[in-house]
Structures are given as C-alpha cells and as structure tokens.
Amino acid sequence: MGQLTLCDAHCHPTDDPNSLDLIPKMQTSKLTLMATRLDDIDLVHSAAQRYPDKVIPAFGYHPWFSHLVYLTEEPPKSSYEHYCKVLTPTPTEEFVNSELPFPASFEEHLKKIKRYLEMHPNAILGEAGLDKAFRLPQKHGDKKLSPYKVDMGHQQEVFKRQLSVAVDLGRPVSVHGVQCQNAVYECIMSHPPPSVCLHSYTGSPQFLQSNWLNKKLRKRQPQVFVSCSVLINIPTQAKMDALAESIPSDRILSESDYHAAGDLIDEYVYQSLSSIASAYKMGIEQAAEAVSQNYSRFVKTSAQQGNIEHNPTLSEADPGV
C-alpha cells in the first residue's frame, strides 16, 4: 500500500469496541464511523474524541432498527400495539413478547443525534435511509430471519426527520438504500442536504443517470457521491467497471463497510481503491488522490461547500450524464 492516502467513507468499527485501540496504527487516514442505533452512538462520539485526526463521526439511525422506536409524543400503551403498527405482516404476540423490547422515543434519540452533530462540527449524519428487503432476525425458531418487515411509511418518517436535522445543520448524509431507490430519492429531494453519499450503491446505473447525476436537475440537488465496497457492491472488477460507466470520477468514493478497526479495513479500502483505479484507467496513486479529494468535498459542511471548486482533471471519465 505504500504511502497512499486511504479514505474510508463508511465503516462500523464500533461494532467491535475492543478494536478501536487499533485506529492510530491503521494506514487508512480517514475513517467515517457510522452510528446506527440507540446503543452505539456514544461509542462513535468517544472514538471521535480520542482520535480526532483520523475519525470523522457520523450520527444517525439505521432503517434496520427503525421498528424499535415510536414517533408519537407519548409512548404506546403496549409493545404489541406499537409493533402491530410498524411491522408487516402483523406480528404474533408470541414473537413480540419473546423477541422485541418496549420501543424507545425516536424524538429523544433525535435530540441526541443533533446534540452530537453540534458538538462535532466535522460530523456528518448517518447511517440513515430505507430498506425494503430487510427482515427482522429472530432468536427462537428454526429460521434466523422472521417473516416481518418494517413498514415503509414508518421508515420514511424516521429518515425524513433525520434529513431535516441534516438540512438545519448543513451536514452531509451517508445513505443506506436497498430495493427502494425511488423512495430514497423522493425523501432526499424533499429535504436535500448539502451532499449525499449513496453508500454501497446497489441500484441500477440507469437510475443514477436519470436522477442523481442528471445535470439538468443538479441545481436543486445535493452533491451526490457513490461509495464502493468490495464486500457489498463491487465484489468483482466487472461490477466496478459497470458502475464507472455511470459515475463521473469526481463522484466516486472508497469504503470498507467493515465492523472492526485494524488491518482488514485497510485492506478492503485498498482493494476498493484498486478497483476504482482500474475502472477509471488511473494509476493507483492518481486514484488515491482523486478519491481523497472527492472525500474532502463530500464531508464538507454547507458553509464550506461554496468555497470548493470541482477539479476538472478528476472528471476525465465523466460519461456526460
């Protein structure tokens, strides 16, 4: 890897808190640590305080956990009442009683997200978004996954409330979107933050071209970046090559999406960067510089965005979308 500048636009090392002590020894120079739920947001805050030169904190709430929060001012009368409203199909009482806790107030958690964003001027909002494919896991029974999904209306409201905070504070957003690209796009366009990273994007190239990267629409859109992980959306060079045909080289980011700090994040980010270099026909050093500049533009707050100009040398592979 040499002295390459490696930037991880999306990772989850707080899933393994014991690994966080490895951060100072890592080659990756910038790690964007994602908060996802009620119990990891404090760990992201702590890691950002301990390693301010390397960690860019992201505070948000992941759609996989959106069923665990209620959106009303008052708590529901019972767990079962709440989960009947937010899960589909209607869950059994046995499943709710054996698998799910009493829900928490999302408004209270959102206040905490906002408070941490204000404490960290360089923080972004994330991981947030929508997931149409996700099914709740279950501890009991023969199968690891239950038949239950989180109602999309509930997910959208959780997402939109976070987007409102991002807009108010001028913060970029790291977005999770699976099998619901139209819904993600509509939510963001109703509350457009200064910039968006479509993390491990698995939607169609055509949707990117006609919506996110449509030059005719850019005046009212956030700056849109697409991050790539060899673990998720670019497991092969062919996958990366196909994405590169739709994404200008000044909008591409590397990520690991890995759950522990250490050598594996370094390796996965390097593999992502190598794949990007090959797809855009760059040398590895040129690709590292390009992705580093892209990353710097993505994580800037809205107050700083106006002072950043696009580097035309990074757009040689722009397909003209």
Cβ-contact 227, 255 below 8 angstroms:
yes
Please tell me the pTM assigned to this model: 0.92
Rounded average pLDDT over 90-97: 97
Please provide the distance, in angstroms rounded to a whole number, between the alpha carbons at the two ends of the chain: 33
- Pairing state between β 7-11 and 223-228: unpaired
Cβ-contact 42, 67 below 8 angstroms:
no
pLDDT confidence tier of residue 307, bands split at 50, 70 and 90: very low
- Pairing state between β 149-150 and 30-34: unpaired
Measured over the CA atoms of residue 60, residue 64, residue 68 and residue 74, the dihedral's sign is positive
Q: 7-69+104-136+150-315: which CATH topology?
A: TIM Barrel (3.20.20)
Rounded average pLDDT over 87-106: 98
Distances (CA, A) of 80 to 72, 91, 109, 305: 15, 8, 21, 46
- The residue ranges of every structural domain in the chain are 7-69+104-136+150-315
> Residue 301's pLDDT is what?
59
Binding residues: 10, 12, 127, 176, 199, 257
> Residue 215's pLDDT is what?
84
Task: Tell me the percentage of the chain whose pLDDT exceeds 70.
Answer: 93
pLDDT in tens, 149-169: 999 999 999 999 999 999 999
pLDDT in tens, 242-298: 999 999 999 999 999 999 999 999 999 999 999 999 999 999 999 999 999 999 999
Q: What radius of gyration do the chain's Cα atoms show?
A: 19
Binding residues for a divalent metal cation: 10, 12, 127, 176, 199, 257
CA triplet 28, 43, 187: central angle to 5 degrees?
Answer: 85
Q: How far apart are CA 259 and CA 33, in angstroms?
A: 10
